[in-house]
Amino acid sequence: MVHVGGVFEQRDELLDRLRQGPSQEAQAEVASTADVPTPSTWTLRTIRASIPALHDYSLSGVWRVLQRCNLGLRTAQVRRFSPDPDYRNKEDTLLQCLMDAALRPRHCVLLFLDEMGYTRWPEPAQDWAPVAPEPVPAVTTSGTNTQWRIIGALNAVTGQVDYQDDYIVGRRQVIAMYQRIEQVYSWAESIYVVQDNWSIHRHEDVQVALYSRPQIVPVWLPTYAPWLNPIEKLWRWLRQDVLKLHRSAEDWPALRQQVRFFLDQFSAGSHALLHYVGLRGDGKLAQALRPS
């Protein structure tokens, strides 16, 4: 590899070596014994050990060389995989229902349904402080943690969010949510309700309730495919803005009210929410909502 003026001339050669992954030189650099396996990812130390032209560089020097070559740490994308053998057909059905909701907004609506739970004790997160926050809150009124659950429905076209919360979400709460959906969208000829395969959703009592409401059409997601349910990202937003490192561990009713305030901001719909969850933009679900 040729080094000219502090910049590697043969950047492609360096990149090709990095793509091959660490090998014997990297293993020898970090291993304490011969039996230690070769590392699976690069570090500055193993890069320096594996590239002869970098052997005399400090670690900060190696970092600067990589930066000049526009090579930096990049987080790999997680390969999405669902074991459902009928994945493609279920995804196609979902996309067709989205197109129907976009083409017939006065007659049809599509909702993404899901449940989430949260606890009285705050979720951990990074914060600006002289020392790390305590892992367990200093609760003076009671040291007992408590859980609360939410079932919600996100309108794919408007961003409207309807929800109910309770200490538990079981078949009774799911049926009550269907009742609420029926009332809110009483004008719609068809209400597509996209949901996962949680056993409660398919419980006999829930199916009987659905049968008595032909206006509601369940759309079943593939097994283990949360990326096809955008309301999951709403829960992420809720956790990030309200539940991580909250200061309401000693006031459980106040924390539940804060969660309601957060969700209530979407009661009349929200374009910002649609962008956040991926129903606006260039994704597959967003594209289905703007058929040509």
Does residue 92 share a domain with residue 39?
A: no
CB atoms closer than 10 angstroms to residue 240: 11
Does residue 99 share a domain with residue 23?
A: no
Does residue 270 share a domain with residue 175?
A: yes
Strands (E), the chain: 3-4, 7-8, 108-119, 147-155, 161-166, 190-195, 216-220
pLDDT of residue 77 exceeding 70, the answer is yes
Residue 185 lies in a domain: yes
d(CA 51, CA 44): 11
Tell me, what DSSP letter sits at residue 52?
G
> At 141, is the pLDDT very low, low, confident or very high (cuts 50, 70, 90)?
low
Helices 171-184 and 204-211, packing angle to 10 deg: 20
In tens, the pLDDT along 242-282 reads 999 998 988 999 999 999 999 999 999 999 999 999 999 99
pLDDT of residue 7 exceeding 60, the answer is no
β-bridge mates for residue 190, sequence order: 108
Does residue 45 share a domain with residue 134?
A: no
Q: Provide the domain count of the chain.
A: 2
CATH number of the domain where residue 212 is located: 3.30.420.10
pLDDT of residue 117 exceeding 70, the answer is yes
pLDDT at position 2 is: 43
> At 38, is the pLDDT very low, low, confident or very high (cuts 50, 70, 90)?
confident
Does residue 118 share a domain with residue 22?
A: no
> At 5, is the pLDDT very low, low, confident or very high (cuts 50, 70, 90)?
very low
d(CA 99, CA 116): 27
pLDDT at position 190 is: 97
Residue 202 lies in a domain: yes
Does residue 227 share a domain with residue 91?
A: yes
Q: Which of 292, 93, 56, 275 is nearest to 192 (CA)?
A: 93
Does residue 116 share a domain with residue 218?
A: yes
Residue 77 lies in a domain: no
Does residue 47 share a domain with residue 140?
A: no
Does residue 173 share a domain with residue 280?
A: yes
Does residue 185 share a domain with residue 59?
A: no
b vs e for 144-163, b when ≥16 Cβ sit within 10 Å of the residue's Cβ?
Answer: eeeebbbbbbbbbbbbbbbb
Does residue 105 share a domain with residue 53?
A: no
In tens, the pLDDT along 167-185 reads 999 999 999 999 999 999 9
Question: Which run of H or of E encompasses 286?
Answer: helix 284-288
The range of the structural domain enclosing residue 204 comes to 87-288
Residues 6+ apart with CB under 8 A from 224: 81, 82, 83, 84
pLDDT at position 275 is: 97
Residue 73 lies in a domain: no
